[in-house]
Structure 1
């Protein structure tokens, strides 16, 4: 017999050390003992404004760790292994991010390596050529996937010519990127003004803050990037059909702008989304999967960026039931906006969200991810 679920426990938030350094870098440090590790998250605002800049930014992400004037790519990897650390680089619509970790006693070594990469990256020609060819091939393969095509077309509907509507870079644009162009982009945009660094782990916040300030004083580019403009609300337009001969299923995407995570209405909106299609016990899953058998896992997801938040409803269905699946999706949308949810639905969604937040922030890495994402959106 399965026991009853107990009362929800209140999540206790730790104390946060928050400081802005003279170079403009904001440092947020949280003591979270347990494993003798420290997790680092660094987000640098670097939004792309043109398709060409998008290509350069994606390649910069791939080659940022390819070498400095002191170390080769192999040397950087060996140094990370020596200090028991890791360091990854990625990008999203709002900029560049670095994610790393190290043993607590070697955190100073990781910070020194990060500063070296942020101030002295060299972008060797051989690495740029290799990553340029690899990324161009990945783009060609991605654009052959129906879910990628559907996602790109929906973003164009959301944002039009706004930077968030750029999508994947073109192979031809990637081929025009050189080491010199990457170096120019790096010098112009990889700067501390407006950047946020989060450290979470087995550390002493005051002492760690001094260590960060000492290491980061070498990162001197102070100018902040221009903020991303708010996009206009998308105009109502006819349904778009992208014909792919030979496809045996239809990739359905619907969506629009959503309240930001700092809006007063967002908690209610998030619970409504969960009830509608945001988790496996949602109405959309019960209707399209359990009752009709149209699809395996329909979903409704909220995505937050700095300048806008969106909601996307997605389903992959057999081609012959496309119309019926759209009718049922519209029915569920009408039901969620016109009639209040049952008390049990609301309580289950609330428990699910609180539970996933508690689980997601239980580890040092999960807490650092959550805190970094919130801070990057100004929360």
Structure 2
């Protein structure tokens, strides 16, 4: 697409009779008053139970802090997550799957440097069975030798494929650039480490790290929150420990500086990744920063997308958004471009960062992103699945249903001046650093002409 054929939103909305009027906004409705309980059990597990009875189902999210600094921790944790549901002292793999199927349910696991996550759902009538299977997994997962060997072999194969993907390479390069050797950089284990994981090592990690104290269980669905807490406490009474789940060490502050060019010889496309420090959701200024981010690159009608996608056609997808780890937050910018336009795309990306502060969002822009933020939040929490996932994400910083219910009002109260101040303070180009992954031979001369770039080691493949 060329600039000669580009039409902006205003032109698209114009008719022969004049601009097409936007329908007036409806009155902002109050958030639903969801009956809920937020409590901590005797074993140290925080339970957040919310009644949302639009369908006779229940959603479950368990988040267990799961940090570790040992060399094989990331690999062992990944194998643990892959094999946790393959059998217990009372049920083999088929037994687990069959009991869940009979209640229209499922459980799945995933792990990252911060937490082990168990997610699932079932018919509301099957909640006792779902909790029983969960308890069985938490207290007596077996990790038999052949299951660990089988899943480890599959994981090694997937890792070999994953590490060839440009987005994975860019993500790993960005984390290493800004966080060095911090455990958060070990999102993907090394294949050679996975091949060294033993069943004994997996069982030992489970015993030492799958702990209730400091963990959070979220239940959302057709339940009575007051009664369900008693059911949970009874079902999980065997899951206990004096210790607490391992929390990831605090991240170092991201400081602005040179962008690292990570050579990937022969690549025909480049990955642009910028990052800066932001505000956590607990900060009073977060709502204004959220709107500033949307105006910059957080949704399809943002300035960044309008510039490098719609107007200039440099990329199919450009985006900016927040990432929350523990009590800290960052804002990131990403785009994938062809080599020949990478430097130009970087220039325009940095230009839009500066313009956001110096030519701040207008009242019209602010109102547009405000309605998008409120509408998307209400939409995302309108289902049991979305609400459970949102609450599980908030729980890592100690927040709960009250924060979620009050956030539309916080967004509605943000002023245009507050958005302008957030844009100026947090989107200054000098606050950002990052990486560009691509063919150094073709990129280095042009990026060098822009200044603020250094050339790093070639990307691992």
- For each residue in 1:288-344, what CA deviation from the matched residue of structure 2 results, as whole angstroms up to 9, or x when unmatched? 011111111111121111142222111111101111111111100001122321111
Aligned-residue offset at 1:51: 4.1
Asked if the contact 1:24/1:222 (under 8 Å) is kept, the reply is no
**How far off is 1:32 after superposition?**
1.1
Give secondary structure in 2 for the equivalent of 1:98.
strand
1:167–1:197 CA distance, 2 compared to 1 (3 A):
closer
Aligned to 1:328: 348
Secondary structure of the structure 2 residue equivalent to 1:241:
strand
**Within the alignment, does 1:39 sit opposite 2:88 as a pair?**
no
CA RMSD of aligned residues (A): 1.5
Please name the residue that 1:251 is paired with. 271
- Do the aligned residues in 2 keep the contact of 1:158 with 1:257 (CA within 8 Å)? no
Count of residues in Structure 1 that have an aligned counterpart in Structure 2: 379
Aligned to 2:251: 231
Match of 1:15 among 16, 28, 35: 35
The 3-state SS of whatever aligns with 1:107 is: helix
Q: 2:303 aligns with which of 267, 274, 283?
A: 283
Report how far residue 235 of structure 1 moved.
Answer: 4.9
2:235 to 206, 212, 215: 215
The answer to whether the aligner puts 1:54 opposite 2:74 as a matched pair is: yes
d(CA) in 1 for partners of 2:350 and 2:63?
38
**1:294–1:318 contact (8 Å) kept in structure 2:** yes
Match of 2:50 in 1: 30
Aligned residue number for residue 436 of structure 2: none
| 1:237 to partner: Cα distance | 4.4
Q: Name the counterpart of 1:203.
A: 223
- The answer to whether the 8 Å contact 1:158/1:256 transfers is no
Q: Are the equivalent residues in 2 in contact too, given 1:360–1:366 (CA < 8 A)?
A: yes
Give the 3-state SS of the residue equivalent to 1:329 in structure 2. helix
SS of residue matched to 1:242: strand
Q: Distance in 2 between matches of 1:127 and 1:356?
A: 41
* Offset at residue 21 of structure 1 (A): 1.0
Of 144, 147, 159, which residue of structure 2 is paired with 1:139?
Answer: 159
CA distance in 1, matches of 2:227, 2:328: 37
Distance change in 2, residues 1:203/1:235 (3 Å): closer
Unaligned 5+ segments in structure 2 are 1-19, 400-461
TM-score (norm 2): 0.79
Match of 1:183 in 2: 203
**Could you list the runs of 5+ residues in structure 1 that have no partner in the other structure?**
none
Task: Report what 1:263 is aligned to.
Answer: 283
Correspondence 1:101-140 to 2 at 5 A: 101-140=121-160
Which sits farther off after the overlay, 242-251 or 182-191?
242-251
Q: For the structure 1 residues 273 and 61, does the alpha-carbon distance in structure 2 shift closer, same or farther, using more than 3 Å as the test?
A: same
Following superposition, the deviation at residue 147 of structure 1 comes to: 1.2
Are the aligned partners of 1:87 and 1:98 in contact in 2 as well (CA < 8 Å)? yes
Shift of 1:260: 1.1
CA distance in 2, matches of 1:93, 1:267: 27
Q: Is the CA contact (8 Å cut-off) linking 2:270 and 2:339 kept in structure 1?
A: yes
Question: Is contact 2:323-2:330 (8 Å) kept?
Answer: yes
Q: 1:234: how far off?
A: 3.5
Equivalence map 1:350-361=2 (5 Å): 350-361=370-381
- In the aligned structure 2, how far is the partner of 1:130 from the partner of 1:256? 41
Name the CA distance, whole Å, in 1 between partners of 2:373 and 2:256: 32
- Aligned with 2:394 (options 354, 374, 379): 374
